[in-house]
Chains A and B, each alone.
Chain A
């Protein structure tokens, strides 16, 4: 009996050694696999081989650190990733993108790591990076930093900020002109000042057209819970309740949560027979979400487009050209970084009125509020 057991023990150890040896012995094969598939090496960012191949012409290195929600949110993070890829394609820069762990010390760690690794530009996608990036930018004064939706002190850090309230105002105008029930909904991702700008701008736009319209405002989560930016199930739940209460158009500023809202729009439209709408955010969601989920496409009235990709692309372009500057770089309806989408053609009939409001915002006749 005892002998049997010690035999097993020996077997296990031998098995372990074999496994370890296996793992070690076949590294040549692995190298070949990687070398044979250049496509795969392209997918995996920052290959050391690429850097070593051209020692005398070092490519500009860019590091993008994404935030909560991560890749695939059909919005904010995907926009930044798009701009990053545009930069890679156009300027041949060497890129790396990272996603932070749940905890916070990791943000600073990743930024520092990118800086130590010799990146020329480090982009933190989201205002949550503010404290960490201010520290990192101070420690690496020769590296360019860029942060989305926030402005920080160090001179080598660019704050890419967006007048989201202006675009939200325009989709508010569109919603007010299109509603038949005079009831409209708003779904915010997380109850924070950044999203309040979307809410306040939207409300101002609706009321500029018709102050009697009722607006139902809901948030998916309250900080410190940031799940509201990536919770489609919750988005669907809130939207269903709002549609049932009589709203026929809902605008979301909730990242991935908004996908659930469009699903709810399709479901309610099918079951009641009268069409309800959703308004997208960040990207032209008629194309992004509508492209990924065709059955919801016809319910996407318009989108408030926040072109994070343009800001990210510009930061890369300026770094490559040596014209990078720190400080705030604001995008609004005048610069085109904030826009309303006409894709789908559902609001073409009211285009003149919307454009009239856009002109008034640009001329300063209308000043859209950005905080409650």
Chain B
């Protein structure tokens, strides 16, 4: 019985994907494009070797961002501020990480540490405001995103600006060789393809850490109990204030690592081109993956794949914005279906229980 219910809940993302494909097809038909041909082009382009590398590179930050969001979700905390947290962390890590050069593993570890400390401090502000000033974390993290963006603009164009004459736009000094993470191409034997960011194994490790933290520690148990029933948690001895701040700090710590894949593996400096929006995209991935480490990994890969494969569309005369709509459809539908399925499962469980009671009497 339990297995059957579990299968039902797995069906939601698949149904959502199917419905999203259907709705997107209708729109494509509406603008006079052939849906089958469009999806075929996307799949063909998205499954080339180069594209698969790009999909994995996109998956890395998306996945970590989703984990950061999920830590909050697990205790019913909405950290909308992953966006500002990871950008600020990446800027400080890039700017400070360039000021020294030491043994590579230590250098990279220190760069990551700077990012983690910066981001979790930024997140902790929202935790403090919630606990001691009663400001809802959605409001405070959104506002902190704005403040963070302004702060980044100021820091990047003043103190951290590498004022080399050839630099027309603000950017930090490039990281020395020891602060760059080598690509994995030699390790996995794909020398002829573009660079596969070396942060991939670390991202997978973070997924494992997240799993152990939430499901195998007392802290994780407290988080889940608080998320499921705050009142019960409080009466069982959980200190909600302390837990809120800890959850925000952990969420921020994961957020700090979101920008590390692109920074250490590709950009090697913070410029105005440093990819924004990963924090918001992570919310979608966490929703789609239901805060589960494997679910979110699949979700991140799906969105990475869609984003990459859509790049071909403009070249073939189909507006690539169609992909943005499709991603939105998937999220919208999956949220609805998770709710429908949750209710279905609850009623099934009640039915099973009542059956048991009947048969035992």
A109 to B206 alpha-carbon distance, docked (Å): 28
Chain A nearest Cβ from B270, distance in angstroms:
9
Q: Is B276's CB under 8 angstroms from A103's CB? A: yes
- B29: nearest residue on chain A (CB-CB)? A30
- Could you list 22 A-B pairs, sorted by A, with CB under 8 Å? A2-B347, A5-B344, A8-B340, A12-B340, A16-B15, A22-B22, A22-B26, A24-B35, A27-B35, A27-B36, A30-B29, A45-B315, A48-B316, A96-B315, A98-B315, A105-B262, A105-B266, A109-B54, A114-B315, A128-B169, A128-B273, A224-B169
**Are A20 and B22 closer than 8 Å at their CB atoms?**
yes
- Interface residue ranges of A110-139 to B (CB < 8 Å): 110, 113-114, 116-117, 127-128, 130
A222 touches B157 (CB 8 A): yes
Answer whether A31 and B34 are a contact pair too, CB < 8 Å, given A19-B22, A226-B272: yes
Residues 250-292 of B, flagged 1 when their CB comes within 8 A of A and 0 if not, give 0000000000001000110001111111000000000000000
Q: In the complex, what's the smallest C-beta–C-beta distance from B279 to chain A, in angstroms? A: 13
Known: A37-B32, A223-B156. 6 other contacts (CB 8 A): A13-B15, A29-B29, A45-B315, A105-B266, A105-B273, A127-B168
Q: Contact between A19 and B272 (Cβ–Cβ < 8 Å)?
A: no
Question: Quick check: is A40 within 8 A (CB to CB) of the other chain?
Answer: yes
B19 in contact (CB, < 8 A): yes
Which residues of B115-163 have CB atoms within 8 Å of chain A's CB atoms? 152-153, 156-157
- Contact residues in B for A130 (Cβ distance below 8 Å): 168
| B236 interface contact, C-beta 8 A | no
List chain B residues, Cβ under 8 A from A23. Answer: 21-22, 24-26, 28-29, 35-36
Interface residues on A, range: 35 or more
Answer whether residue B242 sits at the interface, using C-beta atoms and an 8 A cutoff. Answer: no
Chain B residues within 8 Å of A45, by CB: 315, 317
Tell me whether B18 is interfacial, beta carbon within 8 Å: yes
Whether B168 lies near A5 (C-beta < 8 A) is no
Contact with A along B290-331 (1 / 0, CB 8 A): 000000000000000000000110111110000000000000
Inter-chain contacts of B34 with A (CB < 8 A): 27, 30-31, 34
A241 within 8 A of B: no
Which A residues form the contact surface with B (CB < 8 A)? 1-2, 5-6, 8-9, 12-13, 16-17, 19-20, 22-24, 26-27, 29-31, 33-34, 37, 40-41, 44-48, 63, 96, 98-99, 102-107, 109-110, 113-114, 116-117, 127-128, 130, 150, 192-194, 222-226
Chain A residues whose CB sits within 8 angstroms of the CB of B104 once the complex forms: none
Task: Please tell me if B351 contacts chain A, counting CB pairs below 8 Å.
Answer: yes
Q: Do A113 and B315 touch (CB < 8 A)?
A: yes
Question: Which residues does chain A contribute within 8 Å of B21, judged by CB atoms?
Answer: 20, 23
- Other-chain residue from A30, A31, A192 in contact with B168 (beta carbon distance below 8 A): A192
Interface pair B168/A24, CB less than 8 Å apart = no
**C-alpha gap A99/B313 in the complex (Å):** 12
Q: Does B355 contact A (CB under 8 A)?
A: no
Are the CB atoms of B25 and A22 closer together than 8 Å?
A: yes
User: Which B residues touch A193, using CB under 8 A?
Assistant: 168
Contact residue among B19, B312, B340 (Cβ-Cβ distance under 8 Å from A19): B19
| Cβ-based interface call for B358 (8 A) | no
Does residue B348 face the partner (Cβ distance < 8 Å to A)? Answer: yes
A224 surroundings in chain B (CB, below 8 A): 152-153, 156-157, 169-170, 271-272
Residues of B contacting A106 in the complex (Cβ-Cβ under 8 angstroms): 311
Q: In the complex, how many angstroms separate the beta carbon of B313 from the nearest chain A beta carbon?
A: 10
Residues on A with beta carbons closer than 8 Å to the beta carbon of B262: 105
Q: A224–B26 Cα gap in the complex (Å)? A: 39
B37 at the interface (CB under 8 A from A): yes
Chain A residues contacting B317 (CB-CB under 8 Å) are 41, 44-47
| Smallest beta-carbon distance B64→chain A, Å | 16
Please indicate which of the listed interface residues A12, A27, A114 has the most CB atoms of chain B within 10 Å of its own CB.
A27
Closest to B269 in A: A131
A102 and chain B: residue at smallest CB distance? B276
**B343 close to A (CB within 8 Å):** yes
Q: Give which listed residue, A2, A46, A48, A223, contacts B272 with CB less than 8 A.
A: A223
User: Within the assembled complex, what's the spacing in Å between the Cα atoms of A43 and B169?
Assistant: 35
Docked-complex contact B315 and A117, CB < 8 angstroms: yes
